Amino acid sequence: MIGAVLGVPITLVMPANVSMARKNIISAYGTEIIYSSELEGTDGAIVVAKGLAKNNPDTYYYPDQYANASNPHAHYLTTGPEIAEVLGDRISHFCTGVGTTGTIMGVGAYFKEHLPQVQIAAIEPDDSFHGLEGLKHLASSMIPPIWKPEGLVDRRLAVNTEVAWQAAEDLMRDEGLFIGHSGGANVAGACTLAREAGPGSCIVTLLPDHGDRYYKHMAWDTHE
C-alpha cells in the first residue's frame, strides 16, 4: 500500500502456500512476489529476502521487521499508550501472538514501565506444523533478534490451530467480526486467561488481521 502511494517498487517474498486471497491482494497493489518454499514457512521467506538484499544492494532496501528496533518502538509509542488511555488501571492482562514479536515487545515494555501490574502473555502455535499464518512456533523457528522477553513477558501460552480457527469463525458468526486466524489465536488465548483469572480481570488482546486474506481457508472450504 505504501509503495503504491509513494511510487516505490516493492518486492515481497512469501511462502508458496499462503492463501490465494493474500496473493491476489498483494498483486493488486502492483507488488512483485517471489515465492519461497512452502515447507519452510516464514523462516524460508526471511532467508530468501536477506539473500536478495545482500546480493543486490543497489536494488533492494530490506527493512527487516524481525530485527528492526523501530518495530517494537512503534508499539511502545502508540499501541501501549492507546490501550492505557482507554483502560488505565482496569487492565490486568495483555496478550497477543508472536510473529515478528514487535507488538508484544513494544507493548510489554510500555506496560512494565507505566502499568507494571499488567501480566504479559505471548501467544504462539502449539506445534511447529501449524496453520496460523503470521505466527511463529518459537521452539522450531528462527528467533527474531527483537524478541527479548526477559523482564517483559510473564508467560507463553500455546494455542491449537483448530481452536484458533474456531474462535475466528465464532467471532464472525456471533459478533460480526471477520478476522484472520492470528486474531482467532489471540482471542482463544485471551479466553484462556479470562477463565484462569476469573471475575474482575480485564484481558486485552489485538485483532491484527482481517479475514478476507484467508477466505479460502475458512470453515466452508475445510469440509470440501
Question: What does 36-85 look like in DSSP terms, one character per residue?
Answer: E-TTSHHHHHHHHHHHHHHH-TTT-----TTT-THHHHHHHHTHHHHHHH
- Domain-wise residue ranges, the chain: 2-55, 70-216
The answer to whether domain 2-55 and domain 70-216 are alike in fold is yes
pLDDT beyond 90 at 218: no
- Reported as a single tens digit per residue, the pLDDT across 165-186 is 999 999 999 999 999 999 999 9
Q: Give the Cα separation of 100 and 188 in Å (integer).
A: 20
Q: Which fold has domain 70-216?
A: Rossmann fold (3.40.50)
Q: Give the Cα separation of 125 and 158 in Å (integer).
A: 5
Query: Which of 187, 181, 123, 182 has its CA nearest to residue 149?
Result: 123
pLDDT beyond 90 at 92: yes
Q: Give the Cα separation of 15 and 7 in Å (integer).
A: 25
Query: For position 215, what pLDDT does the model report?
Result: 62
R_g of the chain computed on alpha carbons: 18
Query: For position 131, what pLDDT does the model report?
Result: 86
Local structure of residue 174 (DSSP, 8 states): H
- Give me the mean pLDDT over the 175-198 stretch: 95
- Give me the mean pLDDT over the 144-157 stretch: 97
> Which grid coordinates belong to 196?
484462569
pLDDT tier, 216 (very low <50, low <70, confident <90, very high otherwise): low
- Give me the mean pLDDT over the 34-54 stretch: 93
- Looking at the DSSP bridge assignments, the partners of residue 101 are none
Q: How many CB atoms lie within 10 A of CB 69?
A: 12
* DSSP string covering 94-124: EEEE-SSSHHHHHHHHHHHHH-TT-EEEEEE
Query: For position 158, what pLDDT does the model report?
Result: 97
Query: Which of 215, 192, 96 has its CA nearest to residue 153?
Result: 96
Is the domain covering 2-55 a CATH 3.30.70.1530 domain? no
Name the CA dihedral angle for 59, 65, 66, 67, rounded to a multiple of 10 degrees: 80
Mean residue pLDDT across the chain? 92
